[in-house]
Amino acid sequence: MRADLAGCERCALRERRRSIVFGVGNGEADVMFVGEAPGADEDRRGEPFVGKAGRLLDKILAAAGFSRSEVYITNIVKCRPPGNRDPRPDEVFACNPFLLRQIEIVRPKIICALGRFAAQTLLKTHDGIGRVRGRWYDWNEDVKLICTYHPSACLRNVDYKKPVWNDFRMLRDEYRKIRPA
């Protein structure tokens, strides 16, 4: 799949990217995290969630008992939107087949959507993240989905930290049903 993605020109985000930020972690993970889009650090290093938001995600993962190598982490779009603008609907649409294929290959049992774009894309809804977070959805018959705030939103607003922690506790409890400690 990486080879298929190399040199992708399906949307305008191709123009200013340095790297296609594919995904990282355990290719057979039971839990997959899906964020929004690569930022400047991710674009430079070719890896998702390596900047400030990534460091916060690592801390939340560790507090919930996960290591980065135990889970799989990717984004809705694989190339950095210029100036960290929001990805546009046509860009999300263009990149969606790659995300769906990643899910097909990794076959997680749980997906956690981080932030509005991931939640709206995976749930096919226009509802805001505050409305959809904090509960379980059957994404399909084999995969459960939970949504929470993006770590970068927690960096901007500390009020999000508590609901995020509650969502991660739900996630961990569900994961422990699949893989008891």
What is the C-alpha separation between 58 and 50, in angstroms, rounded? 9
Residue 88 binds ligand SF4, judged by CB under 6 A: no
Closest CA to 26 of 102, 98, 78: 102
**Nearer CB in complex with ligand SF4: 46/163:** 46
Cβ-based nearer residue to ligand SF4, 10 or 68: 10
Candidates 61, 66, 72, 78; binder of ligand SF4 (CB under 6 A) is 78
C-alpha torsion sign, points 123, 35, 69, 155: negative
Of 1 and 62, nearer to ligand SF4 (C-beta) is 1
Q: In the structure encoding, which two tokens stand for residue 165, read together?
A: 């922690």
Q: Is 167 in the site for ligand SF4 (CB under 6 A)?
A: no
Sign of CA dihedral 13, 113, 156, 70: negative
Query: Which of 57, 94, 106, 114 touches ligand SF4 (CB under 6 A)?
Result: 94
- Contact status: 154 vs ligand SF4 (CB under 6 A): no
Q: Binding residue for ligand SF4 (CB under 6 A) from 61, 77, 122, 132?
A: 77
Among 53, 56, 73, 95, binds ligand SF4 (CB under 6 A): 95
Alpha-carbon gap, residue 88 to 169, rounded angstroms? 31
How far is 162 from 166, CA to CA, in rounded Å? 6
CA–CA gap between residue 79 and residue 8 (Å, rounded): 10
User: Quick check: 106 binds ligand SF4 (CB under 6 A)?
Assistant: no
35 in helix, strand or coil? strand
Q: Binding of ligand SF4 at residue 5 (CB under 6 A)?
A: yes
Binding residues for ligand SF4 (CB under 6 A): 5, 8, 10-11, 13-14, 20, 77-79, 91, 94-95, 98
